[in-house]
Structure 1
Amino acid sequence: MELSTAQVERFVEDGFIRVDGAFSSALAAEARDILWRDTGCAPDDPATWTRPVVRLGEYAQEPFRLAANSPRLHAAFDRLVGPGCWLPRMSLGSFPVRFPSNEVPGDDGWHVDASFPGADPSSFFDWRVNVASRGRALLMLFLFSDVGEDDAPTRIRVGSHRQVARLLEPEGEAGLSFMELAKKLDATDGCPLAFATGEAGTVYLCHPFLVHAAQPHRGTRPKFMAQPPLFPKQPFQLHREDGAGSPVERATRLALGR
């Protein structure tokens, strides 16, 4: 099922859309079995859930590859980024598994995900983002467990991609580092809030500049979510005489008054 025109326009305006049933709940369950083993925690013993966040590494097993490459998601990528303009995901990156806890997770600040290396490629805080979104076509939030309002859903500042585009434009090709941009995000404080809730198999497709944040888990069951980028096959073109281009490009150009 392709995205509707109304969904695409909502993406341009709000900076994200929610795709329900992007992959099956059965795939999500298979993936959770793998992830649970790697957490070192027992699914049926909350006494083993001793940390608010357990970070797991790259996952490329079959359930993850199939989830990332469902026909519904491929059609959505074509609609938002353009046919032939993105690279299929062969893995789903890292998983910050969030457990119910009264502890502060320590990673819940507002931010925009950086997309290309800076002076120190080994430091994520030194990675950068520029107005052409070099290295990232979309931010994606893959829910591998049911996520309700108490289950640490990702917080989203609706429409914040527009302010971020304007913050990045003066910085040119070099852009800003993760931390440099984070210090400027007070400009998005007035944006409405949304929460990335949904059943396992839901995927949020987000503009690369969308401001978002984690939060403490106040529910009863751990949250399993991947947040990989969709990589572009070619750079975005923000200077177009014909006004054509993908919805991601159009959202950025509109923010810049082009």
Structure 2
Amino acid sequence: MYTQQPFIESLNAGKMHLIFNQLIGKNKWIPCRNVGTFPVRFPSIQKPNDIGKHVDASFPGNDPNNYFEWRVNVKSKGRALLMLVLYSDVSENDAPTIIYEGSHIDVAKLLAKEGEFGLSFMQLANKLDELPNRKEVYATGKTGTVYLCHPFLVHSAQPHSGTLPKFMAQPPLLLRGELAITDSTDGYTPVEQAIRLGLD
């Protein structure tokens, strides 16, 4: 949970804030004050044990100290975006995060049936293999590349077959409230529109 100034500045440039406004809406998100968890992936011939498909959770369940009990609901309570921030060059050999293109629409459809309390991290993860197959896209790029992803996007880690360690942060962009997905009088932002595509 790095909070040093260079990390904070890297996510709070003026251009970033403009994009946040375009995707989420003005005054609907909270500027980043840390860069979240910071996984480092080392080259290895061993298969890692954390490469399952998942969607990042956004609000606590009954046990706030147990991340696997954190939850996701159809209004994405607490989370505006998933961000993948590359702090090293990442090629296809350097364990890039796998993004499942369009999977956020499938997840929205799934969560629409689960009400305000939604599903826990593990409950949702256990349902992801039932969703339609989606194209795999690798989150590659030069140092400083930032992927701004829908909060429901299914993604996974993978083994590192390169030669240099991979450094990446994956902070959430936090919401001030919750997303509007029905009965809005002001229209819908792109992130809200994407959820609506999954609603019946």
Q: TM-score, normalised by structure 1?
A: 0.75
Tell me, yes or no, if structure 1 residue 205 matches structure 2 residue 123: no
Higher share in helix: 1
Q: What is aligned with 1:141?
A: 84
Q: What is aligned with 2:64?
A: 121
CA distance in 2, matches of 1:85, 1:209: 18
Counterpart mapping for 1:8-27 below 5 A: none
Which consecutive residues of structure 2, in runs of 5 or more, have no partner in the other structure? none
2:29 is matched with which residue: 86, 93, 96?
A: 86
Larger Rg: 1
Question: What's the CA shift for 1:241?
Answer: 4.9
- 1:48-77 CA deviation, whole Å, 9 max, x = no partner? xxxxxxxxxx11111101101011211110
Question: What's the CA shift for 1:197?
Answer: 0.2
Identity among equivalent positions (%) equals 56
Q: TM-score, normalised by structure 2?
A: 0.97
Question: What's the CA shift for 1:242?
Answer: 4.4
CA distance in 2, matches of 1:243, 1:84: 14
Question: What's the CA shift for 1:187?
Answer: 3.0
CA distance in 2, matches of 1:206, 1:155: 12
Question: What's the CA shift for 1:188?
Answer: 3.2
Change (3 A) 1:243 1:191: farther
Tell me, yes or no, if structure 1 residue 152 matches structure 2 residue 95: yes
Counterpart mapping for 1:40-119 below 5 A: 58-119=1-62
Structure 1: 4+ residue segments shifted above 6 A = none
Counterpart mapping for 1:236-247 below 5 A: 236-242=179-185, 244-247=187-190
Q: What is aligned with 1:252?
A: 195
The alignment covers a number of residue pairs equal to: 200
CA RMSD, 1 decimal: 1.1
Q: Is the 8 A contact 2:77 2:177 kept in 1?
A: no
Which consecutive residues of structure 1, in runs of 5 or more, have no partner in the other structure? 1-57
Q: Is the 8 A contact 2:97 2:139 kept in 1?
A: yes
